[in-house]
Amino acid sequence: MATFQSVVDRFTSLSISPKVVDHAPVKNNAEWSEALGQCDQASLPSSYVLTKTLVLKPKTAKTAPVTPVMVVALEATETNMSALGKKLSLKDLRFANEDLLSSFFGVTKEATSPFALDNVSAENISNVHLIVDAALFTVAEGTLIGFHPSASEKTSFLTLEEIRKYLESSSAKYTEVDFKALAAEAPAAKPQQPKAPKAAAKAQKPKPEEDSVKIGIEYRKEVDFPKWYQQVVTKSEMLEYYDVSGCYIIRPLAYNIWKYITDFFDAEIQELGVENTYFPMFVSSKVLEKEKDHVEGFAPEVAWVTKAGSSDLEEPIAIRPTSETVMYPYFAKWIRSHRDLPLKINQWCNVVRWEFKHPQPFLRTREFLWQEGHTAHLTKELASEEVFQILDLYRQVYEDLLAVPVIKGIKSEKEKFAGGLYTTTVEGFIPTTGRGIQGATSHCLGQNFAKMFNITVEDPNAPANAGDDAEAKKLFVWQNSWGITTRTIGVMVMVHGDDKGLIIPPRVASTQVIVVPCGLTVKSTDEDRRNVEEGVKEVVKILKSVGVRAKADLRENYTPGYKFNHWELRGTPLRLEIGPMDLAKKSTLSVRRDNGKKAPIPMASLATDVPALLQTIQKDMFANAKAVRDAHVKYVTEWKDFVPALNSRCSVMIPWCEEVQCEDDIKEKSSRNEEQEDEAEDERAPSMGAKSLCIPLEQPQDKPIVPGVTKCAACGADAKRWTLFGRSY
């Protein structure tokens, strides 16, 4: 196998000494970028680009010699395989499998780079088609080019001259290919079609206008969704990557959204008689492990503190992944009589779930912020009533605040909360990826935890014949728990954002209106400037006086265009432009972030028109998102239509039997296991199987399930209810 040392030796023999940086081992380019982001930035070149090295194999007769194609390209280059195959007159180019990589190039998929060419035997080297991206040779002077030196946990940064030197020293002769020109010749890839070549996902947006080059989003939402998302959340300054993996910094723009959510939800639950408290984040292992199903659900993700200062703790102490077992021993102490019911408490806090899956900003993070409500009731009915009250508040958070449509429903047995009785959920949907996402859950825990933690009262409704028999009168309380997290922010970004960046609904925007001075030129007089500035300030003052969160952007040295991009990237719902002409007409020009519509608003009616327009934007954002979501829910009654519906990026509603085995089968039958996959999963056409998202509370009225007649679309047994299935986060 290729080793890092052999690569270093080769560099030495070429008299080149590239900078080499160590980082976490990575599996694909997304992880690579993240790993570098987590390095000490001072150790990295001030300017660099990453590359990808793909090894492809044409379809050939089994007896023919292997003639692999190695493509060395800039990471962002769209390497259209079918166009390349056509150009090279090779048939059915596909990704080479690990065996070929290992036997032919002596390298693993993760660590592949042109340096693996050194491992190809002399008799084989002439069979290699070496293709180098023409864009690589246009990299600016001073910008270094990153490759894995046959080790996925390292990056060597070479100058263009150095990589050219290397390529020219190799026995494999390379061909320069202009992939952009190639793509223009080839028929356009159809991104909607799941069968489109996966590498098409790597398309970079054409360079945007000069003004926005530095601050704008370089990836298109529809083309490379993961990179788009990563850029939107970081460039908008919502979030910053952090040097502990799976943890992220929530910056003010995002934190403020969370604050609007907490303020709304907290006021609502106070009305329901819920009181706020704060429990310690540490749990002893004894207490954590008290409820078996529950701890099994969380144990693999629990973080353990074992040391303080330089002393080892006598027993490891867990950090709460959730607080059922933290709180309920005290419920047992505090609940002495049915008069202490209902007990309703809530806390706003951080929790830790040390996920080993690929982390994702807001959606899957090792530490996150949430509220967790925990309540105890005398009867199941009272508990259930609250479960649905809370569920509707969660719907309101998504629909009324974030303008994100959700479907209220009940989780299947397989998907419910570990240790609980039943789980209700609000399910969101990300149209770009066609994947469902759990928005927030409200659980009825039943009496299971009460039994484990011995939370009882004397039943006030015990039958008279119970007499003094304490056991007969003992009643285990009915409990609920419910939570909503900072995931909300990520869902909002994914649903509303566009190629210019964030779009924040007015209700959760800390800056609802940005007022920008415009129309000043070199010919403008100082008086013009002063007047425009005064006008801008006046507009802000008027808006603030009616409770609109408005701000002026009076920064000097920036063009209006730069400012437009700046605030568009940050999702500000409305922009008002004011220039000398507007002043003369006593008017302003409004530009909506959600749909770009422009309309003049007279100064005189700003105080009424702007609040009304913000309401309209809020309403329109929800209506549009709902129309898109609705178009992505397919009603299917026969299995043959199920996977095609999924593959068209839809969630699927089927009459369902509600059996666990059937759900397992659906997942299995709907996952696509292709032989060779691109290392970076194509977000637009995921291969994962579908799971049940929820059994909607609101069943379709026009397609009633007829008991004993309507059959499960998956297994043919009797169907119980329409159930929403989908690929999901």
Give the footprint of Zn ion on this chain (CB under 5 A). Answer: 657, 662, 712, 714-715, 717
274 versus 712: smaller Cβ distance to Zn ion: 712
Calpha distance 407→402 (Å, rounded): 14
Q: Is 275 in the site for its own copies (CB under 8 A)?
A: yes
The DSSP secondary-structure symbol of 217 reads: -
Out of 98, 282, 541, 602, point to the residue binding its own copies (CB under 8 A). Answer: 282
φ, ψ for residue 260 (rounded to 5)?
-65, -40
104 versus 331: smaller Cβ distance to its own copies: 331
Out of 56, 201, 283, 643, point to the residue binding its own copies (CB under 8 A). Answer: 283
Calpha distance 334→384 (Å, rounded): 22
- In single-letter form, the type of residue at position 88 comes to L
Out of 8, 125, 186, 303, point to the residue binding its own copies (CB under 8 A). Answer: 303
Q: Is 559 in the site for its own copies (CB under 8 A)?
A: no
Residue 705: Cβ-neighbour burial (10 angstroms; 0-12, 13-18, 19+):
middle
Task: State the number of CA atoms in the 13 A half-sphere of 530 facing the CB.
Answer: 3
Q: Is 281 in the site for its own copies (CB under 8 A)?
A: yes
From the list its own copies, Zn ion, none, pick the one residue 255 interacts with, judged by a Cβ distance below 5 to 8 Å according to partner type: its own copies
Residues 424-463 that bind its own copies (CB under 8 A): 454
Calpha distance 255→233 (Å, rounded): 12
From the list Zn ion, its own copies, none, pick the one residue 612 interacts with, judged by a Cβ distance below 5 to 8 Å according to partner type: none
Q: Tokens for 124?
A: 């084989």
Contacts of 336 (CB under 8 A, 6+ apart): 457
Out of 14, 184, 213, 299, point to the residue binding its own copies (CB under 8 A). Answer: 299
Cβ 615 to Zn ion, closest distance in Å? 45
The answer to whether residues 689 and 671 touch, using CB atoms and an 8 Å cutoff, is yes
Residues 338-397 that bind its own copies (CB under 8 A): 345, 349-350, 354, 356, 366-367, 369
The answer to whether residues 553 and 559 touch, using CB atoms and an 8 Å cutoff, is no
Cβ 242 to its own copies, closest distance in Å? 5
Cβ 673 to Zn ion, closest distance in Å? 22
Out of 5, 12, 41, 192, point to the residue binding its own copies (CB under 8 A). Answer: 41
Cβ 335 to its own copies, closest distance in Å? 13
Q: Tokens for 65?
A: 């010699």
From the list Zn ion, its own copies, none, pick the one residue 657 interacts with, judged by a Cβ distance below 5 to 8 Å according to partner type: Zn ion
Q: Is 125 in the site for its own copies (CB under 8 A)?
A: no
Number of residues this chain uses to bind its own copies (CB under 8 A): 55
Using alpha carbons, list the distances in angstroms from residue 306 to 282, 311, 314, 352, 627: 12, 9, 8, 16, 51
The answer to whether residues 420 and 322 touch, using CB atoms and an 8 Å cutoff, is no
Question: What three-state secondary structure class fits 273?
Answer: coil
Calpha distance 543→606 (Å, rounded): 7
Q: Is 247 in the site for its own copies (CB under 8 A)?
A: yes
Q: Is 267 in the site for its own copies (CB under 8 A)?
A: no
418 versus 715: smaller Cβ distance to Zn ion: 715
CA angle, 115 as apex, 112 and 118 as ends, to 5°? 115
249 versus 472: smaller Cβ distance to its own copies: 249
From the list Zn ion, its own copies, none, pick the one residue 259 interacts with, judged by a Cβ distance below 5 to 8 Å according to partner type: its own copies
Residues 304-323 that bind its own copies (CB under 8 A): 304-310, 316-317, 319
From the list Zn ion, its own copies, none, pick the one residue 712 interacts with, judged by a Cβ distance below 5 to 8 Å according to partner type: Zn ion
Question: What three-state secondary structure class fits 659?
Answer: coil
- Report the candidate in 428, 539, 410, 535 with the shortest Cα–Cα distance to residue 487: 428
Cβ 318 to its own copies, closest distance in Å? 10
**Considering only 241-249, 370-378, 412-420, 512-520, which stretch makes contact with its own copies by CB under 8 A?**
241-249
Helix boundaries (H) for 401-525: 448-453, 470-473, 487-496
- Report the candidate in 591, 450, 445 with the shortest Cα–Cα distance to residue 518: 591
- Helix (H) / strand (E) element for 88: namely helix 81-88
From the list Zn ion, its own copies, none, pick the one residue 552 interacts with, judged by a Cβ distance below 5 to 8 Å according to partner type: none
Q: Is 564 in the site for its own copies (CB under 8 A)?
A: no
Q: Is 541 in the site for its own copies (CB under 8 A)?
A: no
From the list its own copies, Zn ion, none, pick the one residue 330 interacts with, judged by a Cβ distance below 5 to 8 Å according to partner type: its own copies
Cβ 562 to its own copies, closest distance in Å? 14
Cβ 354 to its own copies, closest distance in Å? 4
The answer to whether residues 666 and 725 touch, using CB atoms and an 8 Å cutoff, is yes
Q: Is 250 in the site for its own copies (CB under 8 A)?
A: yes
276 versus 545: smaller Cβ distance to its own copies: 276
Calpha distance 670→692 (Å, rounded): 12
Contacts of 432 (CB under 8 A, 6+ apart): 221, 222, 225, 494, 649, 683, 684
Strands 48-57 and 144-147 come out as parallel
Binding positions for its own copies, rule: CB under 8 A: 41-42, 240, 242-244, 247-252, 255-256, 258-259, 275-284, 287, 299-310, 316-317, 319, 329-330, 332-333, 345, 349-350, 354, 356, 366-367, 369, 454
